[in-house]
Amino acid sequence: MFKIIIFLIFVLNSTLSYSHSQLTEILPKDNVIYTKTPPQIQLKFRSKVKLVKVDLNKVAEDNQKIKLDLDSFKKRSKEFAIPMPSITSGKYNILWRALSPDGHIIKGKSEFEVK
C-alpha cells in the first residue's frame, strides 16, 4: 500500500509540474561573466506564454532599473528576443514573469556580469 501511495504522489506531482510552461533557456545565462555585452535577452519556453514583465537591473547600491522595450511582445510565443540596451560593465539581473497556457504566473531570474 505504501508503494502505491508513493507512486501516486510521484505521478500527480509530475503531472502538475508540467501543467505550467517551463523556461527551457535564458540568455544571458545565470552566473556567467561576459567579456562584452550580449546582444539580446532570450527567453525560451516549453509552450506558448504571454510575457508579462521583464526587468533588467544593475546590481549595485541603488539597484538601477534599466528600461526595456517590450511593446512588440504582446502575443503568446515560445521564444522571445528582447534587444539589449546599452549597458556598462557590472553585475546585472534579469527578473521575468510570464502567463502560462493554464493561466498561472511563472517567474524566474538570471544574474550575469559584463567585464
- The C-alpha atoms of residue 94 and residue 113 are separated, in whole angstroms, by 11
67 and 101 Cβ atoms separated by less than 8 Å: no
Residues in the chain: 115
- The C-alpha atoms of residue 110 and residue 107 are separated, in whole angstroms, by 11
Per-residue pLDDT at 20: 65
Per-residue pLDDT at 1: 60
Each of the 115 residues of the chain gets a pLDDT tens digit; together they read: 655 544 445 444 443 444 567 999 999 999 999 999 999 999 999 999 999 999 999 998 677 899 898 888 989 999 999 999 999 999 999 999 999 999 999 999 999 999 9
The CATH class for the domain spanning 2-114 reads mainly beta
